[in-house]
Amino acid sequence: MSGLHLISPTSVNIPFSGSVSVSANGGISCTSTRRIDIRNVFSANYDNYMIVMSGYSPRDYSMTWGLIGANDILDVNAVYAYSGTQFEGTGNYDDDDWGATSFHEIGVSDVIQIIGYIYSPLLAEPTMARFFMNGYSGWVAGAGIMDGAAQYKENTIHNGIYFQGTEANPFTGTIRIYGLVK
Amino acid sequence: MPAINGLVRVKATSTANTGGTATQTTNGEYVFTGVTSARLDGIFTSIYDDYLMVFEARANGASPSDVNFRFTTGGTDRSTASTYRLQQITASGSSLTNTSSSLDYGRAFTLPVTNYSGFNFYVYWPARVYRSGIRSVSALSDASGTVVDRMTYHMENLSSDGIRFYSTVAFDMSVNIYAFNQ
């Protein structure tokens, strides 16, 4: 038995500009997509999930990501919290927010590469996330690292995830969501 | 929909080494012993975007070995000046340092002698005609249990099909290669 399964979402919605396609296996490809809602990707078959995301957007930190709750509604309640570190050149930052409306902004631009984990989104408990991001740092004109942990602090069931940019900063790239077999 | 394996074993179309020996197990693990250069050809293709490489490695001799890497195409190094942009975090004991560099190669490992250390490479979009990146996470077998976390992105918009590791000091390295299904 494989320990990691690629999941095919029940539906993918892009309410604004851009386009999206889903491969026969479930891999998602976006082109100039302002927002993508990946619905019903969490199921009772798995407790925990791994996300692999690669691509680019015109500007740094122009995207956010968060959870989708009942009736496919984006959960943007200000009950997310995160703590993270960011390394660019010889500088580093600590970053935290305890009343955010999403997991975290995503450092995009020339490259965005993320390994993320979502823990127990279907439980009526806080949902936890851990992410390891690579990006281009405009400050040092080089590579940047941004890692962190986040949580949705209330006891709410979520069945999907969204990524949101802006009209001027859409996302082009790939998103794959894997379930860790239990 | 039936579950699709999330990780797929990848095998090289060929390998090349300088010094030492190279062997391949039936399952597809590559073992290089006492080499100063180890190249894996044909591992990155248009079938998959993102890859996971898992290494065990050590210096083969009395001196620590700094191992670098370059992407390759058809066995030829990608070696344009200043195209490998690195951000590196080193945590050793109670010390944390971060540095950046711009080189014609990427930094892969700093290998202690005697015992094997472990490394993961997450490789994003190497075969696409776009900037590719590697996030490497290590667990060194030195006295401090040092962590070295590196992000390297290759700025050239070129497709690569392989990777070469090299050093001035002989090293031992085994590697298993997987693709994230999509």
The pair of three-digit structure tokens given for residue B134, joined into one six-digit string: 């590697």
pLDDT at B12 over 90: yes
How many contacts, defined by CB atoms under 8 Å, are there between A and B? 111
Q: What are phi and psi of B93, to 5 degrees?
A: 60, -125
Residue A97, pLDDT score = 84
Are A111 and B133 an interchain contact pair (Cβ–Cβ within 8 Å)? yes
Going by C-beta distance under 8 Å and a sequence separation of 6 or more, which residues neighbour residue A168? A58, A59, A62
The rounded Cα B138 to chain-centroid distance in angstroms is 11
Chain B residue closest to A179 (CA)? B6
C-alpha to C-alpha distance for A101 and A154, rounded to whole angstroms: 12
At residue B136, what is the residue type?
A: S
Residue A165, pLDDT score = 87
Chain B residue closest to A91 (CA)? B98
Q: Which residues in chain B touch residue A134, judged by CB atoms under 8 angstroms apart?
A: 124, 133, 135, 151, 153
Going by C-beta distance under 8 Å and a sequence separation of 6 or more, which residues neighbour residue B12? B24, B30, B40, B41, B42, B43, B162, B177
Q: CB of A66 within 8 A of CB of A102?
A: yes
Q: Which residues in chain B touch residue A172, judged by CB atoms under 8 angstroms apart?
A: none
Q: CB of A46 within 8 A of CB of A121?
A: no
Query: What Cα–Cα distance (Å) separates residue A132 from each residue in A37, A72, A87, A114, B170?
Result: 21, 27, 12, 6, 32
Which residue matches tokens 């999403």?
A102
Chain B residue closest to A46 (CA)? B3
C-alpha to C-alpha distance for B22 and A25, rounded to whole angstroms: 35
Picking from A111, A115, A140, the nearest residue to B153 by CB comes out as: A111
Are B133 and A113 an interchain contact pair (Cβ–Cβ within 8 Å)? yes
Are B152 and A52 an interchain contact pair (Cβ–Cβ within 8 Å)? no
Q: Give the residues of chain A that fall short of pLDDT 50.
A: none
pLDDT in tens, B23-52: 999 999 999 999 999 999 999 999 999 999
**DSSP-assigned letter for residue B26:** T
B116 touches chain A (CB under 8 A): no
How close B104 gets to chain A, by Cα (Å)? Answer: 14
C-alpha to C-alpha distance for B161 and B24, rounded to whole angstroms: 19
Residue A139, pLDDT score = 67
B153 touches chain A (CB under 8 A): yes
Coil, helix or strand at residue B16: strand
Residue A136, pLDDT score = 76
C-alpha to C-alpha distance for A54 and A8, rounded to whole angstroms: 17
The pair of three-digit structure tokens given for residue A88, joined into one six-digit string: 């660019």
Partners of B46 in beta bridges: none
C-alpha to C-alpha distance for B40 and B14, rounded to whole angstroms: 6
Residue A106, pLDDT score = 77
The rounded Cα A38 to chain-centroid distance in angstroms is 10
Which residue matches tokens 């044909």?
B42
Q: Give the model's confidence band at B1: pLDDT under 50 very low, under 70 low, under 90 confident, else very high.
A: low
Q: Give the model's confidence band at B149: pLDDT under 50 very low, under 70 low, under 90 confident, else very high.
A: very high
Residue B169, pLDDT score = 93
Q: What are phi and psi of B116, to 5 degrees?
A: -75, 145
Going by C-beta distance under 8 Å and a sequence separation of 6 or more, which residues neighbour residue B7? A2, A3, A4, B52, B178, B179, B180, B181
The pair of three-digit structure tokens given for residue A107, joined into one six-digit string: 């450092």
pLDDT average, residue stretch B118-122: 95
- A interface residues, B as partner, C-beta within 8 Å: 2-6, 8, 23, 25-27, 45, 50, 52, 54, 56, 87-92, 110-111, 113, 115, 132, 134, 136-137, 140, 142-145, 174, 176, 178-179, 181
Residue B144, pLDDT score = 79
How close B14 gets to chain A, by Cα (Å)? Answer: 27
Are B87 and A178 an interchain contact pair (Cβ–Cβ within 8 Å)? no
The mean predicted confidence, pLDDT, of chain B is 93
Q: Which residues in chain B touch residue A111, judged by CB atoms under 8 angstroms apart?
A: 124, 131, 133, 153
**DSSP-assigned letter for residue B127:** T
Q: CB of B117 within 8 A of CB of B111?
A: yes
Burial A104-137, CB ≥16 within 10 A → b, else e: bbbbbbbbbbbbbbbbbbeeeebbbbebbbbbbb
Highest mean pLDDT among B64-68, B73-77, B96-100 belongs to B73-77
Chain B residue closest to A172 (CA)? B130
pLDDT average, residue stretch B128-152: 89
